[in-house]
Structure 1
Amino acid sequence: MNIYNSGFLNLEYDPSTDILSVNFPPVSDILMPEISSSFGVIVEHVRNYDIKKLLFDAKDTQVDVDEEEFSPVIAQFARSLSSTRVQKIARVVSSSHYREHVVRKVFKDKELPILFQSFTELDSAIAWLKL
């Protein structure tokens, strides 16, 4: 069921698997405040629906961001998620090796109580979340 759609961010929730799918459209030009705001919307819906599993599909996202700007935003997002009941996050990777490196670095932090795994295929990511 669709629980949020802004034209930029789409959230689909499947109550039978407790998976929230987060999809960003294939845009190439976005500002850091829009990314930060979208992360806030995700955290809000995770709390409101008491979601435990997140699926990020970033394979079509073409945004190139500066590490000095992106790293603190993604780190804050991870800290916000760690204050929810999220247990697992699966990410279908984008073509940006740089962005994926930053995301993996933040979510592999030993302090975060969330399991994180990157995938190249959507089916593999969903299968892992269902385990």
Structure 2
Amino acid sequence: MEEPGYEVLDISGDVGLKVRGETLEELFINGALGLYSLVTDLSRVKPEKSINVNVYSESIDGLFVSWLNEIIFQFDTYGFIGREIEIESLNENRIEAKLKGEDFDPDRHEKGLLLKAATYHNLKIEKRNGVWTAEVIFDI
């Protein structure tokens, strides 16, 4: 089984993710999947419907945080939980993606953490030796 492109960071009072990707697209996909894995068991989510997500920011740091916060917004507002992410367009200021998943069903989906927001606190995004990494902390 392939190792996920993220790991959970245990931070006192909050939770974080360390995300990896060989490309910027993979970094953003793994960030989204890591976030969703904090919310529920992804193996129980079916890619039954899709939504489009478009985010703009002035910097790559801002784009990553805004991307994760848009995903949290879609879950909090509409109950949408994704399992598959397709990046349609990505540069350092804009991301356009299609997220495939379904509406959260408490009878089928295990309830994980309730994430309030991705934060800029101790945010790190860098490319080293051809690999992108990011560390992000969430308010819970």
TM range (shorter): 0.3 to 0.5
TM-score (norm 2): 0.34
The normalised TM-score by structure 1 is: 0.35
Q: Which of the two has greater strand per residue?
A: 2
Structure number with the bigger relative contact order (C-alpha 8 A, sep ≥ 6) is: 2
The structure where helix makes up a greater share of residues is 1
